[in-house]
Structure 1
Amino acid sequence: MRILIVEDEPTLGKQLKSTLEQNGYAIDLSTDGEDGHFLGSTEEYDAVILDLGLPEIDGLTVLGMWRKEGRKFPVLVLTARDSWSDKVAGLDAGADDYLAKPFQTEELIARLRALIRRASGNTSSELTAGPVRLDTRSGRVTLAGEPVKLTAQEYKLLSYLMHHKGKVVSRTELIEHIYDQDFDRDSNTIEVFVTRIRKKLGADVITTIRGLGYSLDDPDEQPRAN
C-alpha cells in the first residue's frame, strides 16, 4: 500500500515515514501544500496523511482541491488544532478521519489501516482468500494455519491483491501502489514477486489474466475487472 504524507514538521514527517515503512507501506513525503497537492493529483495513493497547517497552500485548501479534481483516496487529517469547528471544517472539506496532535503512532496506524480497509470494501483486519490469511495488524501471513515468511516486497504485493480480492489488477497498478516515488520501478520485478509468492503459498493463489494483470480469488469465485 502506498501512502502520501504531507507534513511540514521535519522530525515528525521523517518519523512517520520511517515507522510506516517498517509496517510495510511505501511512503512518499512532502513538506508543503503545493508539492503535496501536485503529488496527490499526479500519483496513485491508497491513503493520504495530511497536516492542515502547511506552508504555500494550507491543508484544507489542498484537500478541497483534490476532491474537486475527483481524487477519492481516503485522507487522514493531522492538526495541532483541537476545536470542534476545525474538525467539522476538515470533515466538510472531504477528510475521512481526524487526529489531533500530539497523538500515539499506534493509533495513527490503526486509523490508517481502517481507512484503507473501508476504501477497498473490507471490514475486518484479517483478510482471507481460501487457506491464505493476512493479518493487517501484525503483518502475519498464514497458509492453512501455518505461518509463511514473505519478504517486504512480497508482502506489499500480496497485501494489495488481498485488499482487492476478486478484481483484476494490472501490472502498472501494482507498480504504482507497492513502490514509492523514488524507487527504481521495474515491471519485471512484479513477475518475480508473483512467482515467489506462488512457491510459498501455492501455484493457484494468484491467477494471471493474460493481457490484463493478476487476480487473487477465493475458490470458485470469478475475477472481475478493476
Structure 2
Amino acid sequence: MTAVLLAEDDEAIAAPLSRALGREGYDVTVEQTGPDALERALGGSFDLLILDLGLPGMDGLEVCRQVRANRSDLAVLMLTARTDEVDFVVGLDAGADDYVGKPFRLAELMARVRALLRRRGGSEDSVVEVGDIRLEPAARRVLVDGSEIALANKEYELLRVLLEHAGQVVSREQILREVWGDVELRGSKTLDMHMSWLRRKIGDEGPVAERRIATVRGVGFRFNAD
C-alpha cells in the first residue's frame, strides 16, 4: 500500500485531507510539527510527503531541505497559503516536487497526488540509454559517463521523458502533463527552472549548439540522440 505522510498542523485541513487520501487507498500518517514530520519522513518508508509550509517548531522549507538532502526518492508536495511567485520558486528550490496554494480544491490536490505517484507501480523497469546517459528505472538511478548523479524527483522524470523520446521534439504541454500532471503550469517558470537544474547536473551547459538537450523555440525540447 502506498504510504503518505501528511504534515499539517491545521486540523480543519488535516482531517478531511487524511480521510480523502484514505478513501483513495493510501496509508496515511499525520504529523503536526516540523520536527516530528522530519523524524517520520527520515525514519519511515513513505512514498509521498504532503508538507505544510507553516509548521510549528520547524518550517516546511527547512523540513523539505533536510528531507531532500537525505531522501531523494521521497516525493514532496508542498502546501502553503503563500502564493507569490517568489514563494513558489523558493519552495521548488528547497526540493519540493509540486506546490499547491491554499485554499485548494480537494479534487485538484488529489490529482496532483496521483500525478506524483503514478509511476511508482513498478511497470517502468526498462533501462533507457542514450549516448553517455543511462537511466535505470528499477533502481531509480541515473549515470552519466558511468558515474551516478543525484537528481530530484522532477528532474529524474523530466530526463526520463526526454530520453524516451530521444531525437524527437517533446512539447512543453506534453512534458507538463507527463511530469507535473498539469498543463496549466505552462505560464509559469517551473519547467524552465527544472530544465536549467537538469542541464547543470548532467553537465549540459556548454555552447548551445553542442548541448544534448536542445530548446526548440516556441515548441519544446529535444534530447539529441547523436
Give the structure-2-normalised TM-score.
Answer: 0.53
**Matched positions, count:** 125
Distance across 1 between alignment mates of 2:71 and 2:6: 19
Measured in 1, the distance between the counterparts of 2:77 and 2:70 equals 18
Change (3 A) 1:48 1:70: closer
Q: Secondary structure at the match of 1:102?
A: coil
Give ranges in structure 1 of 5+ residues lacking alignment: 121-162, 170-226
CA drift at 1:7 = 0.4
| Cα drift, residue 166 of structure 1 | 7.3
CA distance in 1 between counterparts of 2:13 and 2:71 reads: 29
> Given the alignment of the two structures, is residue 98 of structure 1 paired with residue 99 of structure 2, yes or no?
yes
Contact preservation (8 Å) 1:41, 1:71: no
Deviations 1:29-56 (A, max 9, x none): 0001010000000001111110000100
Conserved in 1, the CA contact under 8 Å of 2:42 and 2:71? no
TM-score by length of 1: 0.53
Aligned-residue RMSD, C-alpha: 1.5
CA distance in 1, matches of 2:8, 2:89: 20
- Percent identity among equivalent residues? 41
Q: Deviations over 1:168-213 (max 9, x none)?
A: x9xxxxxxxxxxxxxxxxxxxxxxxxxxxxxxxxxxxxxxxxxxxx
- Trace 1:118-129 onto structure 2 (pairs within 5 A): 118=119, 120=120
Q: Distance in 2 between matches of 1:28 and 1:10?
A: 13
Q: Map 1:156-167 onto structure 2 (within 5 A).
A: 163-165=121-123
Separation in 2 of the partners of 1:70 and 1:113? 20
Match of 1:6, as an amino acid? A
Shift of 1:95: 0.4
Q: Which runs of 5+ in 2 are unaligned?
A: 126-137, 139-226
User: d(CA) in 1 for partners of 2:112 and 2:71?
Assistant: 23
Runs of 4+ residues deviating >2 angstroms? none
Q: Contact conserved, 2:53 with 2:79, CA < 8 A, in 1?
A: yes
